[in-house]
Amino acid sequence: MNIKKIFSICISAVLSVSLLAGCGSKADSDSSKGDSNPTYAFVAKDVQNPYMKKVYEGFEKACKEIGVTPLYKGPEAATPEKQIEIINQLIAQNVSGIAIAANDADALQPALKEAMNAGIKVISLDSAVNFQSRQTHIQQADPEKIGRGLIQAAYEMVKGEGGIAILSATAQATNQNLWIEWMQKELKENPDKYGKTPLIKIAYGDDDPTKSTSETQALLTNSDVKVIIAPTTVGMLAAGKVLQDKKSNVLLTGLGLPSEMAPFIEDGTCPWMYLWNPVDIGYLAGFTMDSLKKGEISGVKGDTFKAGTLGEKTVTEAADKGTEVMLGDPFKFDKTNISEWKTVY
């Protein structure tokens, strides 16, 4: 036998082994879509964010109660590119469901469509993907209430006089952008009320503590800014630290974790703030995923299902033509209740 022939036999042997191996892994992972051992994957905005870990805690809890395997994934920084890579890996791994907190509404569409075509159930939570890219969305609280409520809070804090700045997460974050839209509507629709509380600047800290800190410092160079609204837990903590360090008179409100923000509420840097229970968001996502997986719902308006200890939930129409499942109302944290909540989440 000449060298060429030996070589070609070797190649075909390697090929058939790898083909067989490929079939084997496909068959194995296919079983994850059957009822024996499904995997529900959770894709965070980024894995550095403590808020995302809290949400995952609830997702994991739901998966344990349901009897499926949870999987925590996410990029190091809140970008859509890395999330696309992760989605592609999850498709190859043949998971049964993907619940994603999106870093962009549209950029994930091709990857998520491919996932759905492969029979994977796809939902977004926290930060939505566009309605074509999901079966439904898990909405923390009414975006209108959040947006308008934060402007009203800032107005009250400066007693109707003083510029407002917003310290957001990334410029593509669907959730923050929607809340900011409602903040702007609240200001625009009530020009008399807000005549002396203009919105001076929107800054983006990218949910990165270092960038959020430098963006806060930059906002403070404008002496017209009297109150900062940070609709992100990462931004809240960074801004709170800067204001505290500088012993600044600028006030802070937004969406913060009680466990992180208690010292700033206690010393008056942040008179009050809002949030919902992040653990419940993840828990609701887990049960929504399971109802989709079991075919009890398909994610259309009017679908109802039992979400574990949260009770019966209904799929409703979302503002973006898709559907959503709403957790509830945002909750207000101030000096009167922060000590109770700081150990909870």
Residues engaged in binding ligand RAM (CB under 6 A) = 45, 49, 51, 101, 126-127, 169, 175, 207, 232-234, 255
CA 111 remoteness from chain centre: 18
Strands 97-100 and 39-43: parallel
- Give the shortest CB-170-to-ligand RAM separation in angstroms: 8
Nearest Cα to Cα of residue 271 among 240, 234, 295 = 240
- Please state, in angstroms and rounded to a whole number, the distance separating the CA atoms of residues 11 and 117: 33
Any idea what DSSP says for residue 30? Answer: H
Residue 228 burial class via C-beta count within 10 angstroms: exposed 0-12, middle 13-18, buried 19 and up: buried
Residues facing residue 275 across a β-bridge: 331
Nearer to ligand RAM, 91 or 128 (CB): 128
Nearer to ligand RAM, 167 or 169 (CB): 169
Nearer to ligand RAM, 194 or 272 (CB): 272
- Give the shortest CB-273-to-ligand RAM separation in angstroms: 10
List of E strands, 26-162 = 39-43, 69-73, 97-100, 121-125, 136-139
- Give the shortest CB-268-to-ligand RAM separation in angstroms: 22
- Give the shortest CB-169-to-ligand RAM separation in angstroms: 4
Nearer to ligand RAM, 150 or 243 (CB): 150
- Please state, in angstroms and rounded to a whole number, the distance separating the CA atoms of residues 206 and 171: 7
Strands 199-204 and 97-100: unpaired
Nearer to ligand RAM, 66 or 86 (CB): 86
Torsional sign, CA 129, 132, 134, 138: positive
- Give the shortest CB-226-to-ligand RAM separation in angstroms: 23
- Please state, in angstroms and rounded to a whole number, the distance separating the CA atoms of residues 14 and 217: 60
- Please state, in angstroms and rounded to a whole number, the distance separating the CA atoms of residues 135 and 119: 12
Nearer to ligand RAM, 51 or 155 (CB): 51
- Chain residue at closest Cβ approach to ligand RAM: 51
- Give the shortest CB-275-to-ligand RAM separation in angstroms: 7
Nearer to ligand RAM, 60 or 303 (CB): 60
- Give the shortest CB-285-to-ligand RAM separation in angstroms: 13
